[in-house]
Structure formats: structure tokens, C-alpha cells
Amino acid sequence: MANMGSKDIARMIDHTLLKPEATQEDIRKLCDEARRFGFACVCTNPIHVTLCKKILKDSDIKVCTVVDFPLGANKPEVKILQTKLACRDGADELDMVANIGVLKSNNLNLFEEDITSVVKAKNKGVILKVIIETAVLTDREKEVAANIVKKCGADFVKTSTGFGPAGANAHDVALLRKTVGKQMGVKASGGIRTYAQVLEMIKAGANRIGTSASVKMMEEIC
């Protein structure tokens, strides 16, 4: 990590705008900023995927969207439809919210089915990150959730929606990294607003960072 420069950091950031009031002009600005700093992707609500793909078509910046965000409490059939529509519109990456209520009810079969349904519905090559909202889980529940996410074949386990009671912290990131090992991604998201926090998350084991404060942080270190 000591040898990482600003470009390396940028390539780990999902430049995010998930506010419901975001306009098309806001989305164009998001994409322009992603191009300017070289972020890994832009992450927006599903309605904006087509516009993002159009704006970023001549770049290597990916377009990410969310599935059943921010609650994750819909039935798997709803998530399947959302996934198929997102892939149809050209999404390169998906951040789905797992059904945390069924996890906490110890209905692990339904928790697994929920994730597997999206794994099967997405297009081949589309990256899937599964949000487990760590702030409402015990450490044991985090481990159980992360192991199931890995078993289902997702590419990343992600800490938070940013709409929960708290966001990412180094303890949770380290726990998830220890649980899933080196073969799977860990995305830290929620409440990350400074460069120091980014470094803390990377040190703990994150290899992707979700934040809406991306530009402020890059201007801080560039």
C-alpha cells in the first residue's frame, strides 16, 4: 500500500451517486468526474444506466447499478427482474442488497436463494457485489453472511448501503477479508469521506471503495 499512487487509489473507487433527487445533469457530471480522475466505475440508480453507458462508451470506466436498494427485502423474483433489466441496459457491475431480515431470522436457505437468484440472472462477466449491511449484524452473522455470499459465487461482499445506521469500519472490513480469503473482493462503503479513511479500509483488506466524496478525496491527494 505504501507504493500506491493517486491513480492506483482512483482505480479502486466506485464514484457513487444514489440520491433519489439526482438529475440527468448530475449524472453527466458524475461521469465526467469519473473520466477525469480514472475511477473504477460510476454507481447510480437503475434509471441512469443507459445514460451512463452512452456517456462513458469510449472509456474503460464501468457502469454499476444497484439491485433492490437500499432495503433488500423484496422477494427473489423481484431481484431477478431488476437484474435482467440492469444487464439489458448495459450494467457492467451490480451491487445487490441481500435480505438481512431472513438472515437474522436464521432462514439461511432463503438468504442463499436470494443471492443465487441474482447470480443466475445476471449476464456472464457482470460483476456482482452483495451488500450485507454490517452495522445491523453481529460478528457471527457477518461471518455467516460472507461465507454464503462466497458460496453463491458473487465477486464481492460489501459492507453497507450507506442508508443504514452506520457505514464501513476497519474491524468489519478485516473480518470480511479474513472470512472470504484472498480469492474474493471486499468493498467498503458507507460514511467514507476522507483519504485517511480510504487508506484505513485498504489496509484492513478492502480492494474496492464506494463513496460519494471521491472528487474531494482525489483533489486532496493529487
Residues labelled as active-site residues: 95, 158, 187
- Residue 98 and residue 197: Cα distance in Å, rounded? 25
- Reported as a single tens digit per residue, the pLDDT across 119-148 is 999 999 999 999 999 999 999 999 999 999
- What pLDDT score does 4 carry? 78
- The pLDDT assigned to 6 comes to 87
The pLDDT assigned to 164 comes to 93
Do residues 97 and 70 touch, judged by C-beta distance below 8 A?
yes
Per the document, the length of the chain is 222
> Does residue 1 belong to any structural domain of this protein?
no
For residue 103, what are the domain limits?
6-221
Q: pLDDT confidence of 2, banded at 50, 70, 90? A: low
At 1 the pLDDT is: 57
* pLDDT tens sequence across 77-120: 999 999 999 999 999 999 999 999 999 999 999 999 999 999 99
Query: Domain containing 160 — which CATH number?
Result: 3.20.20.70
The pLDDT value recorded for residue 111 is 98
pLDDT for position 62: 98
Structural domain total, the chain:
1
Residue 108 has what pLDDT?
A: 98
- pLDDT tens digits for range 163-192: 999 999 999 999 999 999 999 999 999 999
> Phi and psi for 61 in degrees, rounded to 5?
-80, 130
147 within a domain of the structure (yes/no): yes
Percentage of the chain lying above the pLDDT 70 cut = 98
- Measured between its terminal Cα atoms, the distance across the chain in Å is 17
Residue 51's pLDDT is 98
Enter the pTM of the model.
Answer: 0.96
- What average pLDDT does the segment 47-75 reach? 98
Mean pLDDT for the chain?
Answer: 96
